[in-house]
Chains A and B, each alone.
Chain A
Amino acid sequence: MKHGSALLLVAIAAGALALVPLLAPPFYANLLVPFYGYAIALLGFNLLFGYSGLLSFGHALFLGLGAYTAAVVAGVWGIKEFEVALLAAALAGLIVALPLGWLAVRYRGIFFGMLTLAYGMLAHAVLFKFYHLTGGDSGMRVPRMHLLGLEFAAYNKIELLAGPFYYYCLTLCALAAFLMWRIVRSPFGLHLRSLRDNAQKAEYLGVRVHQFRLAAFAISGIYGAVGGTILGFRTGLADPELVYWTHSGHLVFMTVLGGFSSFLGPVIGALALTLLQDQLQSLTQYWRLVLGAILALVVIFLPRGLAGLAIDVSLLLGRRSAPSTASTTETA
Chain B
Amino acid sequence: MSRQPTSNAAPPAEEPKGAPPRPTEHAPSPLIEARSVCKNYGAFRALENVSIAVREGEFVSIVGPNGAGKTTLVNLLTGLLVPTKGEVYFKGRNIAGVGPVTLATQGMARTFQLVQIFPELTVAETIATAAVTRQGKRWRLLSPLPQDAEIATRVAEIAGLFGLSSRLATLSRLLSQGEKKLLDVASAFALDPQVILLDEPTSGVSTAEKHAVMATLAGAARAAGVQAIILVEHDMDLVAAYSRRIIALSEGRVLADLPPEKFFADPVIIETVVGKRRGVSC
Contact = CB atoms under 8 A, between A and B. Distances in A.
Contact of B134 (A188, A193, A206): A206
A197 interface: yes
A198 interface: yes
Interface stretch (B6-14, B117-125, B240-248, B270-278): B117-125
For chain B, which range describes its interface: under 10, 10 to 19, 20 to 34, or 35 or more residues?
Answer: 35 or more
A197 B120 contact: yes
B121 A194 contact: yes
B121 A205 contact: no
A185, A186, A206, A208: most-surrounded residue (chain B CB, <10 A): A206
Contacts of A190: 121, 125, 128-129, 132, 145
Interface in B27-79: 78
B217 interface: no
Contacts, number: 104
A184 B158 CA distance: 24
A187 B105 contact: no
Contact of B116 (A179, A189, A198): A198
Interface stretch (B88-96, B136-144, B204-212): B136-144
Interface in B105-123: 105, 109-110, 112, 116-121
A88 B100 CA distance: 38
Nearest to B132: A187
A206 B144 contact: no
Contacts of A201: 112, 116-118, 184, 187
Interface in A99-146: none
Contact of B104 (A196, A200, A205): A205
A204 interface: yes
B125 A182 contact: no
A193 B128 CA distance: 12
B148 interface: yes
Interface of B: 78, 99-101, 104-105, 109-110, 112, 116-121, 125-126, 128-130, 132-134, 137-146, 148, 151, 184, 187-188, 190-191
A300 B133 CA distance: 39
Nearest to B102: A206
A204 B129 contact: no
A207 B133 CA distance: 7
A189 B145 contact: yes
B133 to A, nearest CB: 3
A203 B151 CA distance: 19
A208 B101 contact: yes
B140 A205 contact: no
A187 B155 CA distance: 13
Contact of A186 (B118, B126, B141): B141
Nearest to A181: B144
Contacts of B110: 204
B130 A206 contact: yes
B118 A193 contact: yes
Contact of B138 (A183, A191, A203): A191
A188 B140 contact: yes
